Chains A and B, each alone.
Chain A
């Protein structure tokens, strides 16, 4: 266990659905991240939050909407996704955004039909 949990672990949704991914870290960290992992591609950074403030939006489409209510919780709200959005979505945390060592959760496997 890395101290970072994600729910749900698997999600199947239609293109018109709205769903949310949840991440929680129990490490006392102040920075949290969303990554997308697609087959045969490097991890793609989506969003960075540092002390609850969004510090990075890596040109992510607006159908992905992050929310960070506190330093321990991070959400990714999904709306009108496309089949190409099917991927493993990984959450990570680090002491703060200046600390490079990131600890990952198990991910949510998302399938968009």
Chain B
């Protein structure tokens, strides 16, 4: 079956440093990828997405990189802040109209 996984279940970074959260996907037919942030007690919040015709997309303090050769997706957060502490999910569409989610990586930001 399809699967989306994350290399690191927990990532601890110092405030001000850059964070990189990685995601491996298994379906080479996926052409859409999305990152969500979920804070404690809240629903997933859209961060950034990317289509397979791109390898990089930037938002405000966030960058998503897509490497289709090795089926790898990453989320880079610049100048990580305490408010960035959350669980981050990647998802792929498997070339369908449904999203397939990973289990998530917890980002902890310490002073």
Spell out A's residues near B (CB within 8 Å). 2, 4, 6, 40-43, 45, 48, 56, 90, 92, 97-107
Contacts and interface: CB of A to CB of B under 8 A. Distances in A.
Contact of B102 (A42, A97, A101): A42
Interface string B15-52: 00000000000000000101010000111111001000
Interface string B57-75: 0000000000000000000
B45 A2 contact: yes
A9 to B, nearest CB: 9
A103 B4 contact: no
B81 interface: no
Given A2-B45, A43-B44, A100-B32, 4 more contacts: A43-B101, A97-B97, A100-B34, A104-B44
Most buried by B among A45, A92, A100, A101: A100
28 contacts: A2-B45, A4-B43, A6-B43, A40-B103, A42-B4, A42-B89, A42-B101, A42-B102, A42-B103, A43-B101, A45-B99, A56-B98, A92-B43, A97-B97, A99-B97, A100-B32, A100-B34, A100-B99, A101-B34, A102-B46, A102-B99, A104-B43, A104-B44, A104-B45, A105-B43, A106-B41, A106-B42, A107-B43
A10 to B, nearest CB: 10
Contact of A90 (B44, B49, B93, B104): B44
Contacts of B102: 42
For chain A, what secondary structure do more than half of its interface residues adopt (helix, strand, loop), or is it mixed? loop
Interface string B77-110: 0000000000001000100011111111000000
